[in-house]
């Protein structure tokens, strides 16, 4: 049976992709951010997951404001980077796992989650930046396959934190009923507090972010009590990306323990939170 071995949360800010491309790891602005990642990479090196499910929001690449599915799952043989926001990074495609994708789709649809199924899907910074942060050396990905799970955080109405947590729980059950011995890691991307536009552009709420980093480990249900409106007020318009973290956390159905965490502000306009959670059987 497949098993979810852990969950990771990380920011997906596009500027990080550029900083990686320019190797700005020792730059004083970037160093405290990049320095937080080696322990997570060491864990990935040791555990060697077979599949990474990357929970992110499409920022207008596959879905624009004219057509916006709430939840979408990739079922493609590979995923190509087409994020041009900060200049297209020439990244090799990410291998998919259509068989596991379809198992997940069938399982969560049977649990009444209505998904958009994507047999072709391009990926943007929401997906590529976390992948570049976690596997900067492609050789260390080995045979790692990827499955994009896209949640609408762009066009209201957005799915509630409670709904996203429940989707994560259904995702966890789906993976753990897959009849192959695979180690799966679930990555919740984006967040924490940030607002990119409007009167409150640049808004960051450190206290709220630190509370989220704590609660998501042992008491994620506390975070499911917030409405989307609460998240926008407390964490900024784009801080609602916390729902991506809640999908990840819902999928961890075993005994969860925190192995590593970091919080750094600001990176670009954002409170950047990193968490590594082990999910013991």
| Contacts to ligand DHB by CB under 6 A | 12-15, 59, 190, 194, 196, 238, 268-270
CB of 233 to ligand DHB, least distance (A): 18
Active-site pick, 59, 103, 194, 264: 194
Q: How far is CA 47 from CA 75, 80, 141, 252, in A?
A: 25, 26, 11, 16
CB of 177 closer than 8 Å to CB of 243: no
Q: From ligand DHB, Fe ion, none, which one binds at residue 14 (CB under 5 to 8 Å depending on kind)?
A: ligand DHB
Residue nearest ligand DHB (C-beta atom)? 268
* Number of continuous H segments (helices) and E segments (strands) in the chain: 10, 11
Q: Indicate the residue among 10 and 107 with the shorter CB distance to ligand DHB.
A: 10
Across 195-227, b (16+ Cβ under 10 Å) vs e yields beeeeeeebbbeebbeebbeebbeebeebbebe
Residues in Cβ contact with 127 at an 8 Å cutoff, skipping those fewer than 6 apart: 12, 54, 56, 79, 81, 94, 146, 148, 189
The owner of tokens 């596009």 is 14
CB of 190 to Fe ion, least distance (A): 5
Q: From Fe ion, ligand DHB, none, which one binds at residue 194 (CB under 5 to 8 Å depending on kind)?
A: ligand DHB
Q: Indicate the residue among 79 and 178 with the shorter CB distance to ligand DHB.
A: 79
Q: Indicate the residue among 107 and 269 with the shorter CB distance to ligand DHB.
A: 269
Q: Indicate the residue among 83 and 97 with the shorter CB distance to Fe ion.
A: 83
Q: From Fe ion, ligand DHB, none, which one binds at residue 270 (CB under 5 to 8 Å depending on kind)?
A: ligand DHB
Confirm whether 125 is a catalytic residue: yes
CB of 95 to ligand DHB, least distance (A): 24
Q: Indicate the residue among 196 and 256 with the shorter CB distance to ligand DHB.
A: 196
Number of residues that bind Fe ion (CB under 5 A): 1
Q: Indicate the residue among 168 and 191 with the shorter CB distance to Fe ion.
A: 191
* 265: three-class secondary structure by DSSP: strand
Q: From ligand DHB, Fe ion, none, which one binds at residue 269 (CB under 5 to 8 Å depending on kind)?
A: ligand DHB
Q: From ligand DHB, Fe ion, none, which one binds at residue 195 (CB under 5 to 8 Å depending on kind)?
A: none
What are the backbone dihedrals phi and psi of residue 129, each rounded to the nearest 5 degrees, phi first?
-65, -50
CB of 241 to ligand DHB, least distance (A): 6
Residues in Cβ contact with 110 at an 8 Å cutoff, skipping those fewer than 6 apart: none
Is the bond preceding 165 in cis, omega lying within 30 degrees of 0?
no
CA distance 13 to 33: 12
Q: From Fe ion, ligand DHB, none, which one binds at residue 239 (CB under 5 to 8 Å depending on kind)?
A: none
- Lay out the site mask for Fe ion across 161-200 (x = CB under 5 A, - = otherwise): -----------------------------x----------
- Paired residues of 73 in beta bridges: 117, 149
CA distance 119 to 160: 26
Active-site pick, 59, 125, 156, 229: 125
Q: Give the residue among 53, 74, 54 at the shortest CA–CA distance from 63.
A: 74
Question: Where along the sequence are the contacts to Fe ion (CB under 5 A)?
Answer: 190
Which residues are known to be catalytic? 125, 194
């Amino acid at each position: 049976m497949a098993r979810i071995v852990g969950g990771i949360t990380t920011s997906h800010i596009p500027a990080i992709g550029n900083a990686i491309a320019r190797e700005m790891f020792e730059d004083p602005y970037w160093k405290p951010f990049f320095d937080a990642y080696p322990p997570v990479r060491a864990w990935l090196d040791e555990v060697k997951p077979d599949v990474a499910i990357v929970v992110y929001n499409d920022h207008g690449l596959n879905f624009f404001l004219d057509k916006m599915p709430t939840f979408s799952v990739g079922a493609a043989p590979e995923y190509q980077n087409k994020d041009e926001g900060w200049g297209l990074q020439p990244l090799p495609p990410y291998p998919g796992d259509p068989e596991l994708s379809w198992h997940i789709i069938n399982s969560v649809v049977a649990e009444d989650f209505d998904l958009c199924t994507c047999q072709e899907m391009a990926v943007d910074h929401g997906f590529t930046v976390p992948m570049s942060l976690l596997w900067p050396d492609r050789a260390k990905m080995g045979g790692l396959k990827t499955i994009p799970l896209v949640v609408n955080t762009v066009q209201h109405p957005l799915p509630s934190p409670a709904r996203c947590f429940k989707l994560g729980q259904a995702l966890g059950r789906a993976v753990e009923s897959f009849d192959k011995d695979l180690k799966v890691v679930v990555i919740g991307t984006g967040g924490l507090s940030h607002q990119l536009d409007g009167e409150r552009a640049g808004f960051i709420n450190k206290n709220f972010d630190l509370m989220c980093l704590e609660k998501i480990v042992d008491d994620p249900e506390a975070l499911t009590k917030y409405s989307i409106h609460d998240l926008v007020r407390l964490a900024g318009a784009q801080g609602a990306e916390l729902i991506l973290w809640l999908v990840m956390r819902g999928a961890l159905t075993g005994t969860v323990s925190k192995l590593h965490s970091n919080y750094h502000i600001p990176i670009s306009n954002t409170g950047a939170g990193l968490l590594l959670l082990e999910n013991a059987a």
